[in-house]
Amino acid sequence: MDTLSETEVLINNKEPLTRSKFFMLKVGENMGLDKPTIRDIINPQQIVILRLPVKLWGKVFVVWGCISLHNNARGPYKGGIRIAPDVNLWETVELSRLMTLKTSISDIEFGGGKTGIRVDIDDAYKLFGKKDQGNDHEFNKALSLEICEEFASEAKRYINDLTYIPAPDMGTGPEEMAYIYNQTLNPASVTGKPEGIHGWLPGRKESTGYGCYRATLRLLEDILRIPPQKSTLALQGFGNVGSYLALFLAEKGITIQAVTDLYGGVYDPDGLDISALYDYVSENGTVKGFVEKSITNEELFALDVDVLVPAATGNVINKENAGKVRAKGIVEAANVPITYEAMNLLSAKDVKVIPDIVANSGGVIASMEEYSRSLSAIKIEKESVFRIIDEKINNSLNAVFSKSADENIGFSEAAVQLAMERVYDAMKKRWHI
Ligand code: NAD
């Protein structure tokens, strides 16, 4: 008998040595901070565990989740809601810590938080007597909308007074954010709202993909010195981030040879037709079957392309497969797609990695705009939002590239150092740590 309770599953025992912890310990020591101070910056300030009884079609489906409120020294806790079958507490803590670092390096006045909601879709299919093996997209959407509505109601003490400001992450999107708004009726309380909903922002839905695209161009042009039109790329994940990123890259003339997702992958060495793939995925919910030649995730990671972009989930490039990577550079569109052990292996092979806290910061940069303009009925142009993202990501990358060169450290360590200095400074001023 499985004796683990949902809380035990969520807590998942001892916190593993995650990548951000690894870098923050190192950077903290370099900054001359004592251990308790470093721990104060690394640890979340509050963790909330939630039981969510989700009411759907006359039945109650209970799911569990957690909110990690990591750090609000520089502004309100900010971070997306992830719904996935493998969510656990330490993953949510890690993602909230990344948000603190991301908002800090981007120099926007937010702190870091995150929500993880663990949903076993097979259990839901069993409860509702469905047989489609998790593939009924209409059912999946109805479920995630109801989960978010229940979440907003259970977590209202954090959301309604802008203590924690959620946004989309894996498994959630603009529609879910509209359901959260329904509960709060405050346009500043949630970002990533769909077009036409009070306080929405033009360009928000494309913003993370757009930012990753700009980061990819900087990697190609400034670091790898490969003209974008002559470059090749492989992409894991074709959701909110991956799909828009692919459209921007294809428009620029970059050859995308392979795309994979949860259900399968497609490969064409001459380049996939990305706008046709976008339409195909909108209809079928997966890239699988778009062209004849298929590819697995592991094959994709080993492709001989210039740039590899993991835009799906965490820890996919790890010590088992990092040795097989042949790309010259990686853009971390997903959060923590590379483990710290793999990071060391890749750096020994001189693979250049644009770290997640910069590469995928376009979303939270746009969220800052959405939040601060939430009471205005006058809409800013999408192009203006993109310009703000450009400027912020370029500033972060300039700082990272020069710190990396000056101190002979990798881009990831340089990024964490820049971010951590700002967080420490704010904590010192507010709390005299
Ligand atoms: P999404 O749910 O819209 O899409 C996820 C994509 O990844 C889908 O194509 C899915 O099939 C695929 N996928 C999931 N698990 C996979 C697996 N094990 N193997 C292969 N493919 C898999 O999610 P998203 O919003 O695009 O987020 C993707 C990543 O980007 C996540 O790591 C998220 O934390 C990060 N991110 C998202 C945002 C945002 O604004 N949405 C912002 C910053 C970072």
Q: Quick check: CB of 329 below 6 Å from ligand 1?
A: no
Percent residues over pLDDT 90 in the chain? 91
Q: Is residue 21 annotated as a catalytic residue, yes or no? A: no
C-alpha 335 – ligand 1 centre gap (Å) = 9
pLDDT over 90 (residue 121): no
Q: Which amino acid is at 164?
A: Y
Specify the ligand 1 atom closest to the Cα of 238. 9
Q: Quick check: CB of 242 below 6 Å from ligand 1?
A: yes
Mean pLDDT is lowest, of 134-138, 241-245, 282-286, 334-338, for 134-138
pLDDT per position as a tens digit, 367-377: 999 999 999 98
Q: Quick check: CB of 243 below 6 Å from ligand 1?
A: no
pLDDT of 422 reads 98
Predicted TM-score (pTM) of the model is: 0.95
> What mean pLDDT is predicted for residues 288-304?
98
Q: Quick check: CB of 313 below 6 Å from ligand 1?
A: yes
Q: In this structure, which residue's CA is closest to atom 39 in ligand 1?
A: 169
pLDDT per position as a tens digit, 147-160: 999 999 999 999 99
> What mean pLDDT is predicted for residues 264-271?
98
**Quick one: which H or E segment has residue 309?**
strand 307-310
Closest CA to 260 of 208, 298, 305: 298
Mutate to test the pocket of ligand 1, among 240, 277, 336, 367 (most ligand atoms within 8 A of CB): 240
Specify the ligand 1 atom closest to the Cα of 360. 43
pLDDT over 50 (residue 1): no
The confidence band for 2, taking pLDDT boundaries of 50, 70 and 90, is low
pLDDT per position as a tens digit, 179-235: 999 999 999 999 999 999 999 999 999 999 999 999 999 999 999 999 999 999 999
Q: Cα torsion at 146, 184, 173, 115 (round to 10°)?
A: -80
**Quick one: which H or E segment has residue 261?**
strand 255-261
Q: Quick check: CB of 79 below 6 Å from ligand 1?
A: no
pLDDT per position as a tens digit, 334-384: 999 999 999 999 999 999 999 999 999 999 999 999 999 999 989 999 999
According to DSSP, the residues that pair with 265 across neighbouring strands are 260
Closest CA to 308 of 361, 349, 275: 349
Residue 5 φ/ψ, nearest 5 degrees: -85, 165
Nearby residues of 317 by Cβ (< 8 Å), 6 or more positions away? 301, 310, 325, 330, 337, 338, 339, 342, 346
pLDDT of 58 reads 92
What sign results for the dihedral spanned by CA atoms 334, 78, 188, 391? negative
**255, 269, 310, 396 from 266: Cα distances, Å:** 14, 10, 15, 33
Q: Which domains, and CATH codes, for the chain?
A: 45-189 (3.40.50.10860), 201-373+380-433 (3.40.50.720)
Are the C-beta atoms of 361 and 332 separated by less than 8 Å?
no
Nearby residues of 286 by Cβ (< 8 Å), 6 or more positions away? 261, 262, 263, 264
CA pair distance 397, 198, nearest whole angstrom: 33
**296, 317, 318, 345 from 324: Cα distances, Å:** 14, 10, 10, 10
CA pair distance 372, 378, nearest whole angstrom: 12
CA pair distance 338, 336, nearest whole angstrom: 5
Instruction: List the catalytic residue out of 114, 193, 352, 392.
Output: 114
pLDDT of 165 reads 98
> What mean pLDDT is predicted for residues 237-264?
97
Mutate to test the pocket of ligand 1, among 92, 103, 147, 169 (most ligand atoms within 8 A of CB): 169
Q: In this structure, which residue's CA is closest to atom 43 in ligand 1?
A: 360
Q: Quick check: CB of 297 below 6 Å from ligand 1?
A: yes
Q: In this structure, which residue's CA is closest to atom 29 in ligand 1?
A: 334
